C-alpha cells in the first residue's frame, strides 16, 4: 500500500512539473495547413486565391521548370533541384507580400486611429466612425472597414461585425484596436478619445523603431541572399552547355548537388533565423 501511494505521489509530482515547464500549445499550432495558409493569404492582401489553388500553382510551376531544365541540360538531378526551387516560389512571393503589407499597415494604422478619434470627437457614434474609415481612411484599410459598414448596416450587431472585421484585417495591430473599441463600447465612459490618442502615439513609436531596425539589417540580409543564390544561378547558366554539366550526370555529381542543396537549405534557414525580427502575434483573435 505504501509503495502504491508513493507511485501516485511520484506521478502527481511529474504531472505538476510537466505542467509548469511545458509551454502551452498556441492556437496557431492547433490549426490546420489550410487555415494557416488562408490567413497568410488574407494578411498578404491576396483575395480570390484559396490554399488549394496556391498548392496547385506550386506543383504546376515545379513540373514546368523540371521539364524545361531537364530538356535543356539532359541531367535529371538538376531538373529536380530547380523544380524544387520553383515549387517554393509562389509561397515565397506570398510571404514577401505579407511582410510588405505588414510594413504598410504598420505605417498607416496611426493615421487610421487619428481619423477614428477625430470622428468620435466630432460626435459620431463608434460604428459610424468605423464606417467612415472605409471612405476617408487610409487606402490600405478602406476595404475591410467598408465591409464592416455594410455588415453593420445589414445586421445591426456591433460585436459580431467587429469579429468579422478582425478576420478581414488579420493583423495584430488591428486586433488590439478592435478589442480596445469593443471594451470601450461595452464599458462606456468618456475616455475613448484619450485611449485612441495614446494608442496612436504608441503605434507611431513602434513603427519608427521597427523601421530603423529593418533599415539597418536590410543590406546584410540582401547580401546573404545574393551569396546563397549565386552558385545556383551559375549552375542554371551552365546547364545550357551539355559539356559543362556532364560531370553532374554521374553518381559523384549527384552527391555534390545533393550536398550543395542541403548546405544551401541549412544556411538559408540559419540566416533567416538570425536576421528575423520578432513579429507580433495575433494573441487577441
The residue among 101 and 195 whose pLDDT is bigger is: 101
Mean pLDDT, residues 20-36: 60
What gap in Å lies between CA 140 and CA 154, rounded to an integer? 24
- Answer whether 58's CB lies under 8 Å from 87's CB: yes
For residue 62, the model assigns a pLDDT of 92
Residue 103 is classified by DSSP as: H
Residue 34, pLDDT above cutoff 50: yes
For residue 196, the model assigns a pLDDT of 80
Least confident of 82-86, 128-132, 187-191, 232-236: 187-191
Where does the pLDDT of residue 26 fall: very low under 50, low under 70, confident under 90, or very high at 90 and above?
Answer: very low
For residue 14, the model assigns a pLDDT of 59
Other beta carbons within 10 Å of 135: 10
- Answer whether 61's CB lies under 8 Å from 89's CB: yes
Other beta carbons within 10 Å of 244: 13
Mean pLDDT, residues 120-124: 82
The grid coordinates listed for 177 are 484596436
Mean pLDDT, residues 130-137: 88
Closest by CA to 152, choosing from 121, 105, 196, 144, is: 144
For residue 20, the model assigns a pLDDT of 59
What gap in Å lies between CA 172 and CA 39, rounded to an integer? 12
Residue 31, pLDDT above cutoff 60: no
Mean pLDDT, residues 174-181: 83
In angstroms, what is the C-alpha Rg of the chain? 26
Least confident of 25-29, 81-85, 241-245: 25-29
Where does the pLDDT of residue 90 fall: very low under 50, low under 70, confident under 90, or very high at 90 and above?
Answer: very high
Mean pLDDT, residues 223-248: 77
For residue 138, the model assigns a pLDDT of 86
pLDDT over 90, % of the chain: 7
Residue 29, pLDDT above cutoff 70: no
For residue 270, the model assigns a pLDDT of 80
The values of phi and psi at residue 9, to 5°, are: -65, -40
Residue 285, pLDDT above cutoff 80: no
The grid coordinates listed for 95 are 510571404
The residue among 8 and 99 whose pLDDT is bigger is: 99
Share the mean pLDDT of the chain: 79
For residue 30, the model assigns a pLDDT of 42
Residue 202, pLDDT above cutoff 60: yes
Residue 137, pLDDT above cutoff 90: no
Amino acid at each position: 500500500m505504501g509503495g502504491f501511494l508513493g507511485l501516485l505521489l511520484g506521478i502527481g509530482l511529474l504531472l505538476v512539473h510537466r505542467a509548469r515547464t511545458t509551454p502551452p500549445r498556441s492556437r496557431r499550432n492547433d490549426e490546420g495547413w489550410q487555415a494557416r495558409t488562408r490567413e497568410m493569404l488574407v494578411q498578404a492582401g491576396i483575395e480570390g486565391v484559396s490554399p488549394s489553388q496556391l498548392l496547385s500553382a506550386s506543383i504546376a510551376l515545379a513540373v514546368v521548370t523540371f521539364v524545361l531544365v531537364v530538356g535543356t541540360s539532359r541531367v535529371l538531378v538538376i531538373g529536380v533541384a530547380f523544380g524544387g526551387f520553383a515549387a517554393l516560389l509562389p509561397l515565397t512571393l506570398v510571404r514577401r507580400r505579407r511582410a510588405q503589407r505588414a510594413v504598410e499597415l504598420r505605417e498607416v494604422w496611426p493615421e487610421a486611429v487619428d481619423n477614428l478619434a477625430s470622428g468620435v470627437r466630432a460626435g459620431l457614434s463608434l460604428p459610424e466612425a468605423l464606417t467612415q474609415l472605409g471612405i476617408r481612411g487610409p487606402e490600405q484599410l478602406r476595404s475591410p472597414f467598408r465591409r464592416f459598414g455594410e455588415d453593420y448596416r445589414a445586421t445591426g450587431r456591433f460585436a459580431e461585425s467587429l469579429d468579422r472585421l478582425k478576420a478581414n484585417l488579420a493583423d495584430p495591430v488591428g486586433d488590439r484596436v478592435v478589442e480596445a473599441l469593443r471594451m470601450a463600447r461595452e464599458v462606456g465612459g468618456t475616455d475613448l478619445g484619450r485611449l485612441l490618442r495614446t494608442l496612436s502615439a504608441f503605434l507611431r513609436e513602434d513603427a519608427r523603431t521597427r523601421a530603423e531596425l529593418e533599415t539597418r539589417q536590410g543590406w546584410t540580409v540582401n547580401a546573404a541572399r545574393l551569396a546563397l543564390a549565386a552558385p545556383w544561378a551559375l549552375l542554371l547558366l551552365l546547364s545550357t552547355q551539355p559539356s559543362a554539366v556532364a560531370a553532374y550526370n554521374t553518381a559523384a555529381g549527384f552527391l555534390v548537388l545533393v550536398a550543395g542543396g542541403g548546405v544551401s537549405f541549412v544556411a538559408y534557414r540559419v540566416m533567416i533565423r538570425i536576421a528575423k525580427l520578432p513579429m507580433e502575434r495575433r494573441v487577441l483573435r
